Structure 1
C-alpha cells in the first residue's frame, strides 16, 4: 500500500494562457499597490489586560499610541499598526527591544452627558515575535521565483493589517469589512442596513493588489427604544402601544431586544449604559419592587415620585437590566452602532437584498466612491510603511468562450440549440431520453373545499400535455387524487398515496405528486424525509397557487425535474465539444460539505458526492455521509468514491480511466490539507476495487465565496438585460495567482445585481489539462444543468452535490434524537438504494 499514501508537494503550475474565444477587456474591483514596503517588517505579540471586547481593544491601543508616541522614545516616533486581536506590525524595531510592559489609562466615555467615572487602567505587554518579515522574499514569490513561504504569507498579512488599520480605528469593523452609517437604510423590524467596504491584499503576477468590494450588514436602529418596539410589532405609531401589548407580542419583543445595549434617559446629564436581559411579565404600573425599607412600590409610581417623569406607556412591560433593575421602555435609548446578530427574517432578508442588489455599473461606481471613504492618499500609516495605492480599477484581458451545442432528441423540431445570452426555451424540443410514467398518484395537503378535484384535474391535463409534448410518455392520464391534513400524519398519508398508486396501476409506484398549501419548510421537509428514506419513492411538490393557474412554463419546469427523477435525460452536449468526457470512460465528481448554521455546532455536517454515470455527463448518482460538525475534509471519501465507481461500472460496463473531481467549500488555508487527504482517499478507493486500478486524477477546487467582480468595458461583450459580462467570460491573468493554474469563469447570464464569477483552482492534475481544455470543458458543462434551460454559474456536479446536502438536512429527525453527535446520527435516514441511482434530489 505504498502507493496510496503518496505525497503531494506543489499545486499545479499554470500550463500557459488559453487562446480559445473572443478577446475582450474587463474592469475589476482590484487596485494596484504601486509601491510595497521595502523595509523588513517587525511583528509584535500584544496582550491587553484586563480582557476587553474587540471594540475596546482598538481604543486601548489608540490610547497607548497617543500616550507613548512622543514620550521618552518608547515608540521612537513610529506608527505601528494593530490587527485588533494579537498582532502589531512596525516598520522598524521599537526602542524597548524584545519586550516591554506599559500602563494605559482609558477614560470612560458614556456619551455626551455621561457623568465622569474614574478612568480604567490597562496593561499592555508587547513581545517581539520570530524573525523580521523579509519583503524581498514576497517579491520573489510574486515574480514566480519562489514558493509561497510562511514569510510571504506573513508579509501579505502585514500589508492587509496596514491597509485596514486606519478605517478599523475610525469605523465599526467586522472581519475584513468596516461599516459606515452614511446612506444607511431602514429595513423591517427596527433594523437598518449599513454600507460596508471589504478590503484585502491579494498577490498576482509581478505585483500586489488590493481587492475592494461592497458589503452590507444589519445594525439595530438607534434612538428611543419605544420606536424599535413599534417596528418590531409592525405597528403604525407609538400611540398603538398605549393600551399595552399581548403576551405573545411581549415574547416577540423580548426575543428581538435581548442583549441590546441602551442608555437610560431619565436623569439630566447623567446617562448610564445597560444591557437588556429580558422584559418583565407585568406592565410598569403593576411591576412591584422592594424599596429597601420593607415597603414596595410599582415602577410607574416610583419614576413619577423620584424623577417627576409621568410615563406615557404605563401598560408596557419594563426592561430588566443587571438582574433586578427595572427600567420603563420609554426611558431607554438604543446605543448607536450595534450589530444585528440575530438571523434576519424573510421580510428583512428581502429588504436587505433590495439594498445590496446593484447593477454592475452602479456597483463599480459605488466601489470607486468608497475610495473617498478609504482616503488612501491621506493615510499616514500607509505613508509610514511606504505604500501607495492606485485610485484606478485594474483593467485585465479576458476572453468570451465559444457557445457549445445543446442537443435534444433527434425527433425534435429543433434538436440542436446554440444558446444566445446563456438562455434558450424548451419549445419545439423533446427531451433526450423521455421517461415513462405509469404508476403515480396525487396527494393534496388541502381539503376539497380549499382545492377541489376539478381544479386539480384541469392542472393535470395541462401538465400531462406539456410532459408528453416534451417527450415524456404518460400512459396513465388519470392518477388517483387523495387529500390530507398538512399538520396531520404526513407519513401515513404518503404511504396511503403510494398504495393507491400501486393498486390503481397494478405496478410499482413511481411518483407521488404532492400539492402544498404554502412555501413553508416543515411540511416539505417531512415529505422528502418520508419519500426518500422511508418509502423510497420519488416525490414532486407543487404549490397550490400554481395548480390553480396551470401555466405552461411552470409545467415545463416541473417536467424537467420529474424526467431526471425518473431516470430520464433532458439534454446533452455535442460529444466532440466535451472530448475529455466522451473519448475515454471518464467519471466527473462534484463534492461538497455543508455545515449547520451558527449556534448549531453540535449538529453534524453533511458530505455529499455526485458522480456522472455515462459518456454524456448528463445523469448523476449521489452518495451522502454524516460526519462531525464543522469538519471540512470529507471523512468517508474512500467509501463514497467506491459507491460512485461501482454505479458507473454497473451503468456503462466499464471502469473510468480518468476522474475529474470538482471540490466545493474549501478555503485557501485548507487547500494543502484537503488535497493531501482526499487524493489519497480517491486512490485508496480505486485500489480497494482492484489492486492495479489507477485512473488519472485531476482535483479542482471551486469557489463562489470571494469578492472578485468583473465589469464589462465593451458594449458588445455585455449581457444587455443585466449589464453583466457575457456568459462564458474567462479571466486568467491580472488578478489570478502569480503562477498556479487558476481562472475565473462567469458562465451564467446575470438575472439581477452584479454576477459573481466562479473561481476554479487546479490543485492536482494527472490528465494533462491545458488552460483551454479545462476552461471550455467547465463552461460547456454549465449548459446541461437539468433543472432549467439556461447556463448556470457552477459546474453541474458541484451544483448537484449542493442540492444533495440541502436535501439531506431534511432526512434527519432532530427533534426526536438527543442533540449529541451519535443521537443525531442514529436518526439520520438513509436514501433508499433505488433512488440513489436517479436524480431524486432535483
Structure 2
C-alpha cells in the first residue's frame, strides 16, 4: 500500500481535543531486557524444581527476574555471557545450571511487549485482584443486587502494545455478573418445574454451554456435558492413591452426596511424556452461574438495575481509570515491583487530536432530512395488496391497533396498504404452525405474526416455516410492544419500513461519489452452545445507492473463522450485479468482520486470494477488517464537561498501530453510558484512495442500515450488520 507509506492520516473535518483510555509506559533511558537460556545438568523435569534451584542464586541474578522454566529475563546484564551456577536438591543431588545470554531485547520487540503484560498481571495480583477468564476483577468492591440474586464484580480489561509513537497500556472498565445461586440450586428448581421424566433432557439443554465460576479457586469453566452416572462419592487418582471428590473438597464442604457431576473439557497439560489428563469434573454445589439468561435480559427491571452499576458515563469511566493508576502508584509493593524493572506508568490519560467529519445528507424521496422523516415519502415502496396478520384471541385489540396505526403512517411514507386477512390462532406453538400452513401460500406478499411473548422456540418455528418450508416475507412483533399507546406511532413506522425493505423497497440513500462500486460484507458465526457447524455469510451491494443487496450463506467446519466458500459466493454476487447493472463493478470494497489480530495474515493470504480468483485483474480491491468489540474509549471535553465524542469523530493517530493502516470512527451517539468506537484496519488496497476518502466513505455507509432511523443510532456498515442478521435465519 504505497499510497499511504508517507501518511495514513486524513485532514477533512473539524479538529476536536480528545482523551483516550491509554497510559504511556515510562522506562529509564536505554532500557533493555536481557534474555537468557537456562540449562540443567542433569536435566530436571519439574518446572517448580527448576525455578527453586535457580532462585537459590538471588545474589548473582538479582531480585528482579522472570523465569518460565527455560528462558530467564533480567533487567540487567550478568558479568559473563555464560554464567555457571551450582545448586543442590533436598535429596543432596548436585545440579549444574548454565545461564547463557541469547538476546538483548529493545522495548518495542514482540517478546518485550509480551513481558510487559506478564509484569502488569503481577501488579494486578499484588493489588489482590482475581483473574476470571482473561480479565482481572476485585471481589472486595462487589456490588450486590439481592432482589435479583445477582452480584457484580468490577474489574479491568488490560493490554500493553506498541502504538504509533510509544508503548502504552490500554485499560477499560469491565464487569463480571455472577448469580447468587449455585448450579445445584438451579437444577433443583428446574426439576420442580418440569418433573423427573423430562428433567435430564431439559437440564442438559439449559446447562450445556454455560460458564460457571468455582469460588474456591476463582476459575471459570464451560459446561460441556453432565455425568449422570457420577456423584461426589466417585473416586479419581491423586498421586498413587484414589480419593473421592467429596473428600478432595472436604475443606470447602460437599453436603449432597447424590448430586451428579458436571464435565468441562478444559485444555490442561500433564507431565512430560504422560498421556493428557481427562476433563475436569465439577460439583454443581460448588459452581456458581455467571452471566444473564435470555429471560433476565428481557426483564426491563433487572437490566435497569444492572445498568446503574455497569453503564458508566464518560466522566465516571475516566475517574475510575485515573483512580486505578493512582492506586498502583500508591501501593508500595506494586511500585517496588515496577521499580525493580525500571518501569512506570504516566499519571495522566492520553491526550490526542481527532476530527469530526461533516454531517451527511440523507436523501428520502425528493428531499433530504437530518432527523424527522415520518412525513416524507420513501424512495420506492411496492404496494402491499395481499398480506395477513396472525394474532391470539387475547391479543386481538393489539393487532387491530397495529393495523389502524400502520394505515395512518403508511400514507405520508408513500406506502399503499390494502386491508389484510386477520387470522386468530390458539396460544400454542402447534396451533400457530397449523394456522400458517393452512393460510399462507407462495402468492402471499407479507405475513405479520403478533406473538404473545418473546419465547424463542415459537419465534424460531415461525421463521423456519416462512423462510424454509414456505418462503414468504414475514414480520414478528411482540404484543407487549403494541400495548403502549404513546409509542405505537413510532413502533408502527418502524414496522412499516421493515416490511417495505423485506418486499424489496428502498427507504433512503446517501450520496456515494464512487461509481461502479460494490460493497461486500463477510462474517462467520459459531454456535458454540449447540456444537453445530459454523456458518460463513456474504452480502454484496447491487446498486449505486447501496439499497439493494445480494446475500449467501456457506456451511463451514465447527469453529472455523476463515471463509472457505468465498470464491463461489462472490462469483454469484458478481453475476447478480451484472444482471442488475448490465456491467461489472470496477471497485470492490470488502468489510470483513470478526477477525482477530492473529488471523490478519490468513485473511490476506487465503481470503484475498479467493477474491482475486473470482475476478479479473482490472478490478480495484480494498479489504478492511472491522472490529466492534474493542476496549478503546474516547472522551471529549466540551464546555468544561467530559462527554462522549459526537458522531462522525475519526481518530487516526497516536492509538493506531505503526505496522497497520487503521483508524477509529465514532459513528453513533448514546443516551446512557460511554460510546463504543469501531476499529477499521485496511489490510489490502490497490485503489490508491486517500485516507480521507476511505474514512468518509466508511462513515457514509454507516447511515445505510435501515433498522435505525436517525444518525443517533448508527453503528456499523449495513453489510456487516446484514451478515449478523443472516446467521439467525
Match of 1:403 among 354, 359, 370: 359
Contact 1:14/1:742, CA 8 A, preserved across alignment: no
- CA distance in structure 1 between the partners assigned to 2:580 and 2:317 by the alignment: 48
User: Residue 391 of structure 1: SS of its match in structure 2?
Assistant: coil
* Corresponding position of 2:473: 538
User: Residue 744 of structure 1: SS of its match in structure 2?
Assistant: strand
1:460-475 matches, cutoff 5 A:
460-474=403-417
- Is 1:713 the counterpart of 2:637? The answer is yes
- CA distance in structure 1 between the partners assigned to 2:638 and 2:676 by the alignment: 18
User: Residue 723 of structure 2: SS of its match in structure 1?
Assistant: helix
* Corresponding position of 1:164: 121
Unmatched segments (≥5 aa) in structure 1 = 1-8, 52-56, 106-123, 139-151, 235-243, 264-276, 282-286, 288-315, 324-331, 503-507, 688-692, 809-842
Match of 2:523 among 582, 587, 592: 592
Distance 1:26 1:259, change over 3 A: closer
Distance 1:638 1:79, change over 3 A: same
Contact 1:205/1:736, CA 8 A, preserved across alignment: yes
- CA distance in structure 2 between the partners assigned to 1:174 and 1:99 by the alignment: 40
Contact 1:609/1:624, CA 8 A, preserved across alignment: yes
- Is 1:570 the counterpart of 2:507? The answer is yes
Match of 2:722 among 766, 789, 800: 800
Instruction: From the CA coordinates, give the structure whose radius of gyration is larger.
Output: 1
Distance 1:262 1:707, change over 3 A: closer
* Corresponding position of 1:177: 135
Q: 1:464 Cα deviation (Å)?
A: 2.4
1:24-103 matches, cutoff 5 A:
24-35=16-27, 38-42=31-35, 69=55, 71-73=56-58, 76-81=61-66, 89-92=73-76
* Corresponding position of 2:455: 520
Q: 1:655 Cα deviation (Å)?
A: 0.5
- CA distance in structure 1 between the partners assigned to 2:410 and 2:39 by the alignment: 67
Contact 1:26/1:710, CA 8 A, preserved across alignment: yes
* Corresponding position of 2:379: 432
Q: 1:800 Cα deviation (Å)?
A: 1.2
* Corresponding position of 1:529: 464
- CA distance in structure 2 between the partners assigned to 1:382 and 1:25 by the alignment: 31
* Corresponding position of 2:170: 211
Contact 2:155/2:173, CA 8 A, preserved across alignment: yes
Contact 1:68/1:75, CA 8 A, preserved across alignment: no
Contact 2:3/2:688, CA 8 A, preserved across alignment: no
Distance 1:642 1:77, change over 3 A: same
Q: 1:759 Cα deviation (Å)?
A: 0.5
Distance 1:478 1:259, change over 3 A: closer
Q: 1:157 Cα deviation (Å)?
A: 1.1
Distance 1:771 1:86, change over 3 A: farther
User: Residue 646 of structure 1: SS of its match in structure 2?
Assistant: helix
CA deviations on 1:550-576 (whole Å, 9 max, x unpaired) are 611100011121111000001001x3x
Match of 1:579 among 513, 523, 526: 513
Give TM-score scaled by structure 2 length.
0.79
1:229-268 matches, cutoff 5 A:
260=214
* Corresponding position of 1:192: 151
User: Residue 388 of structure 1: SS of its match in structure 2?
Assistant: strand
Match of 2:436 among 494, 515, 532: 494
Give TM-score scaled by structure 1 length.
0.69
Distance 1:681 1:187, change over 3 A: farther
- Is 1:753 the counterpart of 2:673? The answer is yes
User: Residue 41 of structure 1: SS of its match in structure 2?
Assistant: strand
Contact 2:33/2:73, CA 8 A, preserved across alignment: no
Q: 1:216 Cα deviation (Å)?
A: 1.5
* Corresponding position of 2:250: none
How many residues matched?
656
CA deviations on 1:77-133 (whole Å, 9 max, x unpaired) are 2322368x997643357899699999999xxxxxxxxxxxxxxxxxx9999899425
Q: 1:774 Cα deviation (Å)?
A: 0.9
* Corresponding position of 1:643: 572
Contact 2:374/2:409, CA 8 A, preserved across alignment: no
Match of 1:624 among 553, 556, 562: 553
- Is 1:701 the counterpart of 2:639? The answer is no
Contact 1:606/1:624, CA 8 A, preserved across alignment: yes
CA deviations on 1:684-714 (whole Å, 9 max, x unpaired) are 1114xxxxx6310001111112111001112
Q: 1:430 Cα deviation (Å)?
A: 1.2
User: Residue 768 of structure 1: SS of its match in structure 2?
Assistant: coil
Match of 1:388 among 312, 333, 344: 344
- Is 1:778 the counterpart of 2:692? The answer is no
Contact 1:176/1:200, CA 8 A, preserved across alignment: no
